[in-house]
Amino acid sequence: MRYAQLILSLFLFFTFVLALPVPAPVDALVERAQSKSNNKGSSSNKGSSSNKGNASNKGSSKGVAKEVKGIDKNIGIQEKEQKDVKKLQKSEGTKKFGKESNGLNKEIANGQRQRERNQKLADKNNKPLTNGLDKVQNAQAKEAKQAKTLKGDDSKKDKATLNQLGKEFKGGEEQNKKNKAAALNGGNGGKGSKSNKKGGRSLEAAEETGEIELSRDEIE
């Protein structure tokens, strides 16, 4: 009888033990926790990476192409300004002067708006470029004031102002050519940066051969 009770008790004990949940090994728990942490990290990193990619193309080949295109537009306006000065010099003391003067003021305003766009496009880490555009900004402000003093009375003052404006517009064109070189070189003093090279060739060389035009067409 006692043996029967003992066997029954042991049977119930083992049945109870087997019914209990088996705890997972410590290594398995640690691995599971790390897996969850890595999944969260990777998902957050993907979001931040895409945000950085969308934030700006400045410094990239497309960014440089936009900078160069904007500066070229400003150079074209400066060439028109120089032609306008010559027209004003010929029309001094005539009825045409008023119309020619308005044309010059319009071109100066166009140049200022284009320069503002160029400053927004410029890579802020490219100091030769940003400093050069600041020089253009200061020169344009001075030129705008000078142009508004013209009276068309064929006076010595008008002639002197027009001569000065002609020199300043030419100087502005030369400055923007330096700005263009700074954009192409990425602010490295003509050496070019590693990120701004295509197959060992600088972007300046690429532009000369027309390769960079592909990037320009993409942004038009």
pLDDT digits (tens, 9 = 90+) for 30-50: 466 566 555 555 544 444 444
- Bridge partners of 198, per DSSP, are 201
Handedness of CA 145, 151, 157, 163 (dihedral sign): positive
Q: What is the mean pLDDT of residues 186-206?
A: 49
pLDDT value at residue 7:
73
List, for residues 54-87, the tens digit of each pLDDT value: 445 666 889 999 999 999 999 999 999 999 999 9
| 3 state DSSP class of 210 | coil
Structure-block tokens of residue 164:
């000065």
Residue 161 has pLDDT above 70, yes or no: yes
Residue 215 has pLDDT above 80, yes or no: no
130 vs 122: CA distance, rounded Å: 7
Residue 199 has pLDDT above 50, yes or no: no
**Contact between 136 and 74 (Cβ < 8 Å):** yes
Q: Which residues contact 108 (CB under 8 A, 6 or more apart)?
A: 81, 140, 143, 144, 147
Q: What is the mean pLDDT of residues 195-217?
A: 45
Binned at pLDDT 50, 70 and 90, residue 14 comes out as: low
Max mean pLDDT range (61-65, 184-188, 216-220): 61-65
The structural domains of the chain, ordered by start, are 61-89+97-185 (1.20.120)
Q: Is 215 exposed, middle or buried (0-12, 13-18, 19+ CB in 10 A)?
A: buried
